[in-house]
Amino acid sequence: MLAYRLLSGFDPQDYCLITNAPAGASTPGYTPSLQGRHYYLKNSRQLRGRAISKSLRDLANLLLTVFDRARQIREIIEREKCTAVVAFTGDVTHLPASYLACRRAQIPFIPYEFDHYLYREYHTPAATLVARWFEPFIMKSAAGIFVLNEALRDDLRARFKVEAEVLYNSIDLAPYEQPTVEHRGNSKDVKIVFTGSIYDAHFDAFRNLLKAIELLDQPHIRLYVYGPQSEEFLTAFGISGPLVLCGPLALKEMPKVQREADILFLPLAFDSPYPGVVRTSAPTKMGEYLAAKRPVLVHAPPDAFISSYFSEHQCGVVVDQKEPGVLAEGIHRILTDEALRNQLAANAWQRARADFDVHAWRAKFAELTGIEDVMAAREKRGEAPPRRTLAEGKKRGEKASDSSQPLVSIIMAAYNRQDLMVETLDNVAAQTYSNWECIVVDDGSTDGTVDVLKRYAMADKRIRYVRQRNQGPAGARNHGLREARGEYVQFWDSDDFLEKRKLEAHVAYLQAHPNADIVYGSARYFRTEAPDERRYSPIGPDEPWLAEFSATGYEMLKELVAANIMVVEAPMFRRQVFERVGRFDTRLPPLEDWEFLFRCAVSGQTFHFLNSEDTLTLVRWHPSSITHDTTKVRRASVMVREKIDAAVSQPELRNINRKLAADYDEMITEQETQEAANRMSEGNRSLAARSFLSIARRRSFRARIKFTFCALVTLVTPLDTFDLRMISEPASKTMVSMFRRYLHSALKSD
């Protein structure tokens, strides 16, 4: 339902849908179908037989399903030329399969949590274990995260130190804008209405409500349920009494039924087997109930999100005790206090408009997922009529008509740079060239960075800042590109300096050489404690490594296949470069700039080197530099080289690239294998298994089977039988060796 509401306002050409079930499998008329292209994921092959225990077989089958669905999703991504994937929580395999597919395809992956992924109602230990394994990778690597409420956002922030974007379960308010039906006082058939499915996250709350109605001893008060459950199903769970089952409603019928209710019932169980789900749940009907302008009766535990939301905004009567008598008092208050009903209705409508308007959330969803950029590209190619910008409500092109438009857009990504931001912004202001704008993208800072930015933005109108959830430098630079107005683009890291004539010299060169797409200069390194030093390299011999020549096509490709040739601040780009080549790949930190330069070379952009006085890029080298993380650099190198391999056609370049990729992959495998052994020696089986799965994801088919098998056996092999030397053997020998040791230990224990 949420996907329908978010996407129904977009052109079907701008998205596709990937599901477990064929299109149209939902109840006819109940959940409307979207018009985008539908893809159905085929069932994966499963292990059968009794050679291994059921729990181990379940785990193996789930992992096989994850990898197979990742393959299917990647094929769809390539066929559709997808620019991002939004994966909703549901089946335990949805998020990890989408994550792996996006990682392989090098496009942004965005999980959308309807409820708590780890605490969902998974019915097997294997499913819970898979969710527990993959969740840290999914959340920490995502280009963005959407959640339905603040409780989920705060939970992810506490566990993974990531920032999620809250997108409530929005609705179209138009059907609810008519005047509401007045309460019927003492007339018969007082309707307490519930719309939707009833399951084990609700059961005891419904039992309490039916007992509360009986305590009131008023036969005309009954609970009306509009949902798919049968009387037999509900009776089996003790839900019976003054109850009327009305069947499911079509979407268009929902507003009328909800607006005619005397009370709308919003329950969550007190003794649910899934307390984590209950605590963070935001039911689909929440926005509908608020928009209906009828009294809402919330019956849920005190730590549930819905209890805190309705209490804080005073838009419903909250009964957070599981006593039917207290619930009966809440019903009585609503039915007898007209002033309370009116106040609740007014507050509810105010919250519906503020938090649940689908048009506002659709605009935000389009901006954050990149659909807005897809629409803009189609408009530019003449494939769609111009439309209003979703995120800003303006017509495209209004920004460009600004008479004070700067010539250079400086784009700066900043994350927790309170200590260095003053120096950097002072360095920007010291440039001899002055027709610039400086867009600082605060990437979810938690220190005083924003206070510094506010102060500088007030003092110099050329400096402005925007904020976003933490996405890393690539995501921040892409955000800055969307905001940029200049003809030329200069990236600037928030802890580095540019010599004072850098902008002036490069602007003059691009103006004098209209065929040059990119002009770049040289760079030097310095340490914070030695700001005057100028080194060619921060580590190792102090020798030049940056390229210093002008080229295009094959000559530039040859250099970029061998290695990155410049730091991100060295070049100045014409804006048109990004229209031709695209933006930074957010999956590749800290090497997204290298991969972008490679794409520039592949697309035939011309690089010009300018050796001019006072134009150096000065790169600060300090402990928090992202390039200190050698493991992250190596992994990013392998990913970049996979993209290079797919793009180059010259055999000699491909051979060089594959050799270098294999060297890095071997170093990573050796490091992760040692990590797995260390974790085994520490008795941490789950982390050891996770290390083996990490290796398996990027290996050949045989090696993938080998390391997946290692992960499974790691969970059951006694610690004293694990031998790192087994891993270095060929796949078949490794599997036989580990299986023999497992059988030996099992027989010994018997």
Q: What is the per-residue pLDDT for 50? A: 72
Least confident of 23-32, 94-103, 118-127: 23-32
Q: Are residues 622 and 715 in the same domain?
A: no
726 pLDDT band, cuts 50/70/90, is low
Q: Which residue has the higher pLDDT, 23 or 443?
A: 443
Domain containing 614 equals 404-641
Per residue in 407-452, pLDDT (tens digit) is: 999 999 999 999 899 999 999 999 999 999 999 999 989 899 999 9
CATH code where residue 444 lies: 3.90.550.10
Q: Are residues 81 and 202 in the same domain?
A: no
CATH code where residue 336 lies: 3.40.50.2000
Residue 388 lies in a domain: no
**DSSP E strands, 3-156:** 16-19, 37-40, 85-88, 109-113, 146-147
Q: Are residues 624 and 676 in the same domain?
A: no
Indicate if the pLDDT at residue 346 is higher than 60: yes
Q: Are residues 695 and 620 in the same domain?
A: no
To the nearest whole percent, how much of the chain has pLDDT over 90? 46
Indicate if the pLDDT at residue 396 is higher than 50: no
Indicate if the pLDDT at residue 500 is higher than 80: yes
Instruction: Give the predicted TM-score (pTM) of the model.
Output: 0.55
Mean residue pLDDT across the chain? 84
Domain count, the chain: 4
Q: Which of 172-181, 229-238, 274-283 has the highest mean pLDDT?
A: 229-238
Q: Which residue has the higher pLDDT, 322 or 5?
A: 322
Q: Are residues 86 and 202 in the same domain?
A: no
Residue 393 lies in a domain: no
177 pLDDT band, cuts 50/70/90, is confident
Question: How is residue 374 written in tokens?
Answer: 């897809």
Q: Is 19 exposed, middle or buried (0-12, 13-18, 19+ CB in 10 A)?
A: middle
Q: Are residues 632 and 658 in the same domain?
A: no
Indicate if the pLDDT at residue 142 is higher than 60: yes
Rounded to an integer, the average pLDDT of 605-627 is 83
Indicate if the pLDDT at residue 95 is higher than 90: yes
Of 166, 182, 205, the one marking the end of a domain is: 166
Q: Are residues 53 and 178 in the same domain?
A: no
CA–CA distance from 374 to each of 13, 84, 140, 585, 686 (Å)? 10, 11, 26, 16, 41
Of 122, 142, 166, the one marking the end of a domain is: 166
Residue 17 lies in a domain: no
Residue 551 lies in a domain: yes
543 pLDDT band, cuts 50/70/90, is confident
200 pLDDT band, cuts 50/70/90, is confident
Per residue in 468-495, pLDDT (tens digit) is: 888 889 989 999 998 899 999 999 999 9
Rounded to an integer, the average pLDDT of 331-341 is 95
Q: Are residues 574 and 673 in the same domain?
A: no
DSSP count for the chain of H helices, then E strands:
27, 23
Residue 207 lies in a domain: yes
Rounded to an integer, the average pLDDT of 261-274 is 93
Q: Are residues 592 and 621 in the same domain?
A: yes
Rounded to an integer, the average pLDDT of 705-726 is 68
Indicate if the pLDDT at residue 185 is higher than 50: no
Q: Are residues 624 and 657 in the same domain?
A: no
Least confident of 337-341, 431-435, 594-598, 671-675: 671-675
Task: Give dist(CA 609, CA 551) in Å, integer.
Answer: 9
> Which residue, chain included where needed, has tokens 């999956």?
587
Of 584, 618, 641, the one marking the end of a domain is: 641
Q: Are residues 619 and 666 in the same domain?
A: no
Residue 633 lies in a domain: yes
Residue 429 lies in a domain: yes
Residue 376 lies in a domain: no
Q: Are residues 658 and 564 in the same domain?
A: no
Q: Is 206 exposed, middle or buried (0-12, 13-18, 19+ CB in 10 A)?
A: buried
